[in-house]
Structure 1
Amino acid sequence: MTVVNEAILKLANQALLPPLDTSVNVENYLEFVNSDIQWDEVIVFSDSNHQNTLILLLKNAIIVCAMRFNLEMSEFITIIQRLCRNGKTLKLAVLQGDVLSETDIAEFTSLQNVLAACSFQTIKVTITEIKKYLTALGKPGAKGRGPNFSKDTKENVWKDSHGRCMFTGCGQRLGIDELSGEKGNFSYLAHNVASSENGERGIPVLSEKLSNDASNILLLCDKHHRLVDKIAGCNYPASRLSDMRVQHCRLSEILLDGLSYESVDVYVLLWPVNAQVVSPPGSRDIAGSLATMKLRSLCIPNVLDNGGENVFLRAGTIGGQIPSIIESSARRILDQTRRHDFKAALFAFGPMPALVGLGALLGNKGQFLPMLRYRDSGCWMWPKEEPVSKFYSVEGKDSLVAHEDVVISINFTATSPAVVAKAHEIKNRLGCSVINYTAVPEFMGNGAIPHPENGIALCAQLQQDMHDFRLKYGVKRIHLLICASNAASIFVGQAYDLHHPDMIVYDFEGEGMKPVLLISNNLGGTKLLSPEC
């Protein structure tokens, strides 16, 4: 970005400065806006109890300018009218239950996130409705309610909810009484933005306009209807209830889509990393992760290990008895999936070398699909709903020299100084080549493999590369330095095949790395050994 653009960007966020309160300041700023900013949408934005009011200008739904004014209402309305000339869209957005902070308005990206949080409390309005909204600020809400629910609205809400309570974590069937078994309608309709301005979640103008809007209405059981309307209304602002509605609809569609998906076994295998074990996947995690590949769970998950074998906790490293533990888990998966053509989804987490070893033992002849523990979201999910075209680069293959050893560095979570240092140390000591597989900047991190099909493609590429290393360059040993997610580690292991060179897998120790696992194969199959063997 040029210096000129940086200066314009800084001026465009006037909300960081004191509000404009004189005609001279206003005119000077609007002159800058008209000459240097392009926009197609004007949003009057207000937060809880109307403590902050901003005017936002957007271009293609992206904030390009934010400003504040301390003026009489008539002058404020005049400014809005000027900004809306030439057919610009005017909207009103209200963030209920929260107040803007300095951090929120510090950058357009954070302000954009706040605006997204109240997307269902953002509506298209007229200048007259903006006047009505501003006039109502600080005054008791208007009496009365907005339009009653129409028959179509009631039907649409029921369809969206699939007859279940939309409150997060409930999902109670509302077409039958759970105690008596009697069929009927035992649901309650609740507004996100209250139909009455005097209500707990009432907002001038929005209350009336959204009163009969299905997207503003939740289907609830009796208990949760009382909770949000009579007991703890202050804890459930409209934005939170809207998010509940979105999440319920999204999860419902995932689960129902699963009826047409192929069913697979699900295995959960959680080993500790530094004595810490991640939480197992819930039903929502499993359904969402599998839906990415149009799969669904065949039955309840097969939990092989939900807290780590004691020997893992005692050993602290991948050594000693650890290879036998990995082999035992792999054998159980292979034995149990034999009747299903060796196909399963694998929710596995643990030390990277252990997961590489597990992937090598499961192999690529079956269809064992690892699932990602996505650290950025703190749950099991894939960052992308569709595979991407390019998520990593390869460096060093063009300059590969014939040698019995080669170093493979997988730099997906980060480009670790320990990996770089160990690669140089092995190269200088043995005189071999180093091949780097590095995530592109856009995907560098825990989500470097953004979609399972990308993981499958990586596995195929590594498998071919390791064949070439042996056949074309005489490689007998691969030194694997890996810094990657749980799913990526398994995909890398699955690339290992019969007749491939031996693979020595390294793990982090302090500020360095050391060999912790040897993967070898012969006519009897793939074996895991301690590197000293």
Structure 2
Amino acid sequence: MSVTSVPEKVRTRLWGKAAGRCQYEGCNKPLWIDELTKFEFNQSYVAHIIADKPGGPRGDTELSELLKADISNLMLMCDTHHRLIDKEDIAGHPPELLREMKRKHEDRIELLTDFKEEKQSHVLLYGANIGEHSAYASLAKAAHAMLPERFPAEKPAFELSLNNSLFQDHEEEFWGMERENLRRQFIQRVQPRLAQGDISHLSIFALAPQALLIELGRLLSDIPAADVYQLHREPSNWRWQDSPEDFEYIIKQPSAVQSGAVAVNLSLSATINDSRITSVLGDDTSIWTVTIREPNNDFMKSREQLSQFRKVFRRLLDEIKAQRGRDAVLHVFPAAPVSVAVEMGRVWMPKADLPMRIYDENRDKGGFKEALDIPG
């Protein structure tokens, strides 16, 4: 522990650079409030990287006196981590490690506080049970994915999920209940803010059965500026990555247009055999397929891939309508990433496009079953 009285001007600068939070890596604890009682007071400690005395932790015969009040040698810390580096584990905290902690923390604070208003985005979170698994995003993970292009405009986020639902997607009540909750939440919480012009940009993080994600996209439409994000498996986060080389979507038209139903086979996350579709709709079904070279559940890596899908799906909707007219219903069988499902709903135009019937694959029911109609 230091014995030097650090000048008030230096302490104030340090507080500003640290944003009043512990600079020990991974802590980030706010030092102006007791997290238990919420009572506000200054509970910070000014820690020395090189001790202010040669005999102190990481002390030096020359540098201790020279750097004892130098801001480059000081860190703002909570009591726990101040004790850790100065008493409990001095050897485990050499100067170079502490300097790197300080640099990372102060660089992050500078980045976060340098954003202009036009980079703010309102975060929208939506989750619904997928099979036996609950699926929810968080504001913290969303913020990590948005930076440095965007930052959350306000706290809390728009949370549209039906929390603690015990219904699962193989139950008949699930679809109607989840859809109605989503619709009401959106109309009551998001739509008025959009109409008033309070929201200039949305960042969308959603994990739910694909039919509900398409419905979310439909409610949003493509009118408000928005970024839709994708949860990746490797690494496990929502941050967009670099676009793969030579990536393209493949559109397969039916060899002959049948007189029966018209369907879209989205074989992106996995391959859907046409026989699974005709087993539901009949052999006289015209099937358009959107796929990639090797369908897999983690192919969606970049914004560019998602933007490319929007263009492909928009062209597909126009082509099908041109061939089948306005009286058909488009039966959609999706095996697609969550971001694709949301964008399908955003691309679809209520006055121009064919109504869609979305199917959900459920092993408990033996295959694809009707889930939702868009509109409906």
TM-score (norm 1): 0.51
Shift of 1:435: 1.1
Shift of 1:297: 1.9
Write 1 or 2 for the structure with the bigger share of strand: 1
Shift of 1:229: 4.5
Counterpart in 2 of 1:376? 234
The reply to whether residue 470 of structure 1 matches residue 325 of structure 2 is no
In structure 2, how many angstroms separate the alpha carbons of the residues matched to 1:318 and 1:273? 11
Relative to 1, partners in 2 of residues 1:249 and 1:396: Cα closer, same or farther, differing over 3 Å? farther
Write 1 or 2 for the structure with the bigger share of helix: 1
Shift of 1:180: 6.2
Equivalent residues of 1:277, 1:307 under 8 A apart: no
Equivalent residues of 2:240, 2:302 under 8 A apart: yes
Counterpart in 1 of 2:345? 493
Question: Per-residue displacement from partner, 1:23-76 (whole Å, max 9, x unpaired)?
Answer: xxxxxxxxxxxxxxxxxxxxxxxxxxxxxxxxxxxxxxxxxxxxxxxxxxxxxx
The SS at the match of 1:334 is helix
Equivalent residue runs for 1:6-405 within 5 Å: 164-167=21-24, 168-172=26-30, 186-190=45-49, 219-223=75-79, 224-231=81-88, 248=105, 251-283=108-140, 285-291=141-147, 293-305=149-161, 307-309=163-165, 315=171, 318-332=174-188, 333-340=190-197, 343-379=201-237, 381-384=238-241, 391-397=247-253, 399=255, 401=257, 405=261
Shift of 1:491: 1.2
Question: Per-residue displacement from partner, 1:459-509 (whole Å, max 9, x unpaired)?
Answer: 243123202211234472322222233322211222221232222212121
> Which residue identity lines up with residue 415 of structure 1 in the other structure?
A
Question: Per-residue displacement from partner, 1:50-108 (whole Å, max 9, x unpaired)?
Answer: xxxxxxxxxxxxxxxxxxxxxxxxxxxxxxxxxxxxxxxxxxxxxxxxxxxxxxxxxxx
> Which residue identity lines up with residue 120 of structure 2 in the other structure?
S
Could you tell me the percent identity over the aligned residues?
A: 14
Relative to 1, partners in 2 of residues 1:246 and 1:392: Cα closer, same or farther, differing over 3 Å? farther
Relative to 1, partners in 2 of residues 1:509 and 1:163: Cα closer, same or farther, differing over 3 Å? closer
Question: Per-residue displacement from partner, 1:204-249 (whole Å, max 9, x unpaired)?
Answer: xxxxxxxxxxxx9883415213224433568879999798667645
Instruction: Provide the aligned C-alpha RMSD in A.
Output: 4.5
The reply to whether residue 415 of structure 1 matches residue 252 of structure 2 is no
> Which residue identity lines up with residue 344 of structure 1 in the other structure?
L
Relative to 1, partners in 2 of residues 1:324 and 1:158: Cα closer, same or farther, differing over 3 Å? closer
The SS at the match of 2:353 is coil
Equivalent residues of 2:125, 2:206 under 8 A apart: yes
Relative to 1, partners in 2 of residues 1:308 and 1:474: Cα closer, same or farther, differing over 3 Å? farther
Equivalent residues of 1:402, 1:473 under 8 A apart: no
In structure 1, how many angstroms separate the alpha carbons of the residues matched to 2:348 and 2:204? 18
In structure 2, how many angstroms separate the alpha carbons of the residues matched to 1:277 and 1:157? 43
For 2:359, which of 491, 506, 513 is the aligned residue?
506
In structure 2, how many angstroms separate the alpha carbons of the residues matched to 1:508 and 1:245? 50
List gaps (5 residues or longer) in structure 1.
1-155, 201-215, 521-526, 529-533
The reply to whether residue 430 of structure 1 matches residue 281 of structure 2 is no
For 2:312, which of 461, 469, 472 is the aligned residue?
461
The SS at the match of 1:328 is helix
Higher RCO structure (Cα 8 Å, ≥6 apart):
2
The SS at the match of 1:170 is coil
Shift of 1:425: 4.1
Equivalent residues of 1:166, 1:220 under 8 A apart: yes
Shift of 1:448: 0.7
